[in-house]
Amino acid sequence: MQDALRSHIERKIPLTDEEFAATMPFFHVRKLKRRQFLLQQGEVCRYESFVVGGCLKSYHTDERGDDHILRFSVEDWWAGDLDSFLHHTPSTISIEALEPVTLLVIDQPGLEQLYREVPKMETFFRMLNENALIATSRRVIADLSLPARERYERFLTTYPQIAQRIPLKDIAAFLGITPVFLSRLRREQAGF
């Protein structure tokens, strides 16, 4: 399990055994059952969580009660609300397990101390956030410039593995359309 984290980190930046040994104690294991919450909208997000196994959705619930999914986190991804985590403000999202989930979590004081003790880990998180920023910016572009059907097609090709594991209504909540309409898109698509 620690292996999963180590090889994940080393995909960006090599670590010595000592560095990894110094890093590991800052993390601890957490398990969630299906439908259990890692974070509920309104709470302060205390942990950044590395997903060892399983799948979660991060979503915002608007005033009308509609859910809007920001991202799905599967093996080798991270889950958390950075704003709430860093600034100790109530989070604007909930994070919920779609499958049984195993996590390695770190809290904010821990992360800061980790940066001091293992500077390479600051570099690692810098790169991680760079990538997250790039992915999020791509999503803004797609949301602004593509109609629903193309966002759906792009989702299918970009995350084929994820698309299989996830109910249609959650994909709809991710794309920003209703399940009814997504069902319609599928049917039309099947036509050819």
Which residue in 57, 34, 39, 50 sits closest to 105, CA to CA? 50
> CA 61 to CA 59: how far, in whole Å?
7
- In angstroms, give the least distance from the CB of 61 to DNA: 14
- In angstroms, give the least distance from the CB of 135 to DNA: 22
Which of DNA, a second copy, none does residue 140 bind (CB under 5 to 8 Å by kind)?
A: a second copy
Site for a second copy contains 130 (CB under 8 A) = yes
**Which amino acid would we find at residue 112?**
E
Rg of the Cα trace of the chain? 18
Site for DNA contains 147 (CB under 7 A) = yes
Q: Which of residues 22-41 bind a second copy (CB under 8 A)?
A: none
Site for DNA contains 177 (CB under 7 A) = yes
Site for a second copy contains 181 (CB under 8 A) = no
Cβ–Cβ < 8 Å for 3, 114: no
Which of DNA, a second copy, none does residue 139 bind (CB under 5 to 8 Å by kind)?
A: a second copy
Site for a second copy contains 13 (CB under 8 A) = no
Which residue of 99, 110, 125, 178 would you call a contact of a second copy, by CB under 8 A? Answer: 125
3-state secondary structure 27-89: CEEEEECCCCEEECCCCECCEEEEEEECEEEEEEECCCCCEEEEEEEECCCEECCHHHHHHCC
Site for a second copy contains 133 (CB under 8 A) = yes
Site for DNA contains 148 (CB under 7 A) = yes
Q: Which is nearer to a second copy, 4 or 132 (CB)?
A: 132
Give the relative orientation of helices 148-158 and 119-145 as an angle to the nearest 10 degrees.
150
- In angstroms, give the least distance from the CB of 150 to a second copy: 10
Site for DNA contains 183 (CB under 7 A) = yes
The whole-angstrom distance between residue 68's C-alpha and the CA centroid of its chain comes to: 14
Which of DNA, a second copy, none does residue 86 bind (CB under 5 to 8 Å by kind)?
A: a second copy
Q: In what order do the strands lie in the sheet with 37-39?
A: 37-39, 94-97, 55-61, 67-74
Which residue of 7, 16, 113, 137 would you call a contact of a second copy, by CB under 8 A? Answer: 137
Site for DNA contains 61 (CB under 7 A) = no
